Amino acid sequence: MSDGARFLSVADKRIAYVDSLSTGIQRSFSLLCTPMRADQAARDIRKKKTEYISDAHQRQRIGQIEAASQTAEFHDVLQQEADLTAGHGVLRYTGLVSVSATTAEELDAAVAAIEQAAIQASCETRLLVGQQAQAFTAAALPLCRSV
Summarised one tens digit per residue, pLDDT across range 134-144 is: 777 766 665 66
Residue 7: the pLDDT is 46
Closest CA relative to residue 7, chosen from 117, 122, 95, 103: 95
Residue 52: the pLDDT is 92
Q: What is the pLDDT of residues 78-97, one digit of tens each?
A: 998 999 999 888 888 887 77
Give the number of other Cβ atoms within 10 Å of residue 125's Cβ: 21
Would you place residue 1 in the very low, low, confident or very high pLDDT band (cuts 50, 70, 90)? very low
132 against 4, higher pLDDT: 132
Residue 126: the pLDDT is 83
Residue 20: the pLDDT is 56
Report which secondary-structure segment, H or E, holds 93: strand 91-100
Residue 25: the pLDDT is 74
11 against 66, higher pLDDT: 66
Residue 61: the pLDDT is 92
Q: What is the pLDDT of residues 13-69, one digit of tens each?
A: 455 555 555 556 777 777 778 888 999 999 999 999 999 999 999 999 999 888 888
Residue 20 and residue 113 in contact, taking contact as beta carbons nearer than 8 Å? no
CA torsion sign for 128, 130, 134, 137 is positive
Instruction: State the Cα–Cα distance between residues 23 and 37, nearest whole angstrom.
Output: 35
- Judged by DSSP in three states, 135 sits in helix
Residue 7 and residue 110 in contact, taking contact as beta carbons nearer than 8 Å? no
DSSP letter, residue 11: E
Residue 1 and residue 108 in contact, taking contact as beta carbons nearer than 8 Å? no
Q: What are the beta bridge partners of residue 32?
A: 94
pTM value surpassing 0.75: no
